[in-house]
Amino acid sequence: MSFLRDPKRLIAVLIAGVSGMIVLLDFAGSSLIVAIIARALVGWAALITAIALLIGILSVSWSHLQRVRWRSADWGYSLVLLAGMLLVIMVGIFFPLPGSTGVVLPRSLAEQPIRQLFSAVYEPIASSLLALLAFFSLSAALRALGRRSADAMVIIIVAVVVLIAQLPPVYALPGVAATIQWMNDYVALAGARGLLIGAAIGALVASVRVLLGFDLPYLDR
């Protein structure tokens, strides 16, 4: 009854549900007409997403420009963000792929000059942040030891055993390498697959709820 009292909501649910079902039927293998309609819907969605991304970039840029202009709190970070954005755009446009001439807009962030920029700047920063995780992990382990929880003790013992087993003298012992490989192939992989299956089931349930109109993330409510 709520759908009948709210025509806008009903129209939005019908458009989203029908579009989603057409795309799902295309993935399952259907007629040529359904495939053509599904490709058109996917193309429209990609175009709308690109326009929304452009509007978001312009909005974020304007907001940070205002912070730099008025010297708001932490305006230096805004300046760094704007400089990084301009650097990536300039590298993608003025340093095109070999063989291309003139000014060429990058088709994606996977272009070779942009990848080289990420390799030279982003990857060292990411590696440094990942290296800091070792200290956070050590701090968390010490706090867990202070609480003397059984679950925390099991996690710490397993982590210490795995770390010790990775040491070259220990790893070279007979049977250690085979045991670690077996744990990676069966124990760790089984846990990872369980997490992926759980995430897939959750995504499936969320998708069904969106298609049936129980969840309406596309409405501004």
Would 2 be classed as within a structural domain? Answer: yes
What is the predicted pLDDT for the residue at 209? Answer: 86
**Does the pLDDT at position 112 exceed 80?**
no
Tokens representing 139 are 């701090």
What is the predicted pLDDT for the residue at 1? Answer: 47
Q: For residue 102, report the phi and psi dihedrals to the nearest 5 degrees.
A: 75, -165
How far apart (Å, rounded) are the C-alpha atoms in residues 119 and 125?
A: 10
What is the predicted pLDDT for the residue at 217? Answer: 76
Would 81 be classed as within a structural domain? Answer: no
Tokens representing 17 are 């549900």
Q: What is the mean pLDDT of residues 30-35?
A: 83
pLDDT band at 59 (very low <50, low <70, confident <90, very high): very high
- Chosen domain end from 38, 56, 72: 72
Cα 172 from chain centroid (whole Å): 37
- Chosen domain end from 72, 102, 130: 72
- Of residues 204, 210, 203, the one with CA closest to residue 17: 210
What is the predicted pLDDT for the residue at 205? Answer: 92
Report how many domains make up the chain.
2
- Chosen domain end from 72, 96, 112: 72
Q: What is the mean pLDDT of residues 1-7?
A: 64
What is the predicted pLDDT for the residue at 41? Answer: 92
Q: What is the mean pLDDT of residues 186-198?
A: 92
**Does the pLDDT at position 61 exceed 90?**
yes
pLDDT tens per residue, range 160-189: 888 888 888 888 888 888 888 898 889 889
Would 178 be classed as within a structural domain? Answer: yes
- Of residues 23, 37, 50, 4, the one with CA closest to residue 211: 23
Would 59 be classed as within a structural domain? Answer: yes
Would 79 be classed as within a structural domain? Answer: no
Q: For residue 104, report the phi and psi dihedrals to the nearest 5 degrees.
A: -125, 120
Q: Which residue has the higher pLDDT, 170 or 6?
A: 170
Would 9 be classed as within a structural domain? Answer: yes
Would 151 be classed as within a structural domain? Answer: no
State the residue range of the domain holding 33: 1-72
Q: Tokens 């799902």 — which residue?
A: 24
How far apart (Å, rounded) are the C-alpha atoms in residues 88 and 114?
A: 7
Q: What is the mean pLDDT of residues 1-9?
A: 66
How far apart (Å, rounded) are the C-alpha atoms in residues 66 and 68?
A: 5
Helix (H, G, I), strand (E, B), or coil: what is residue 161?
Answer: helix
Would 96 be classed as within a structural domain? Answer: no
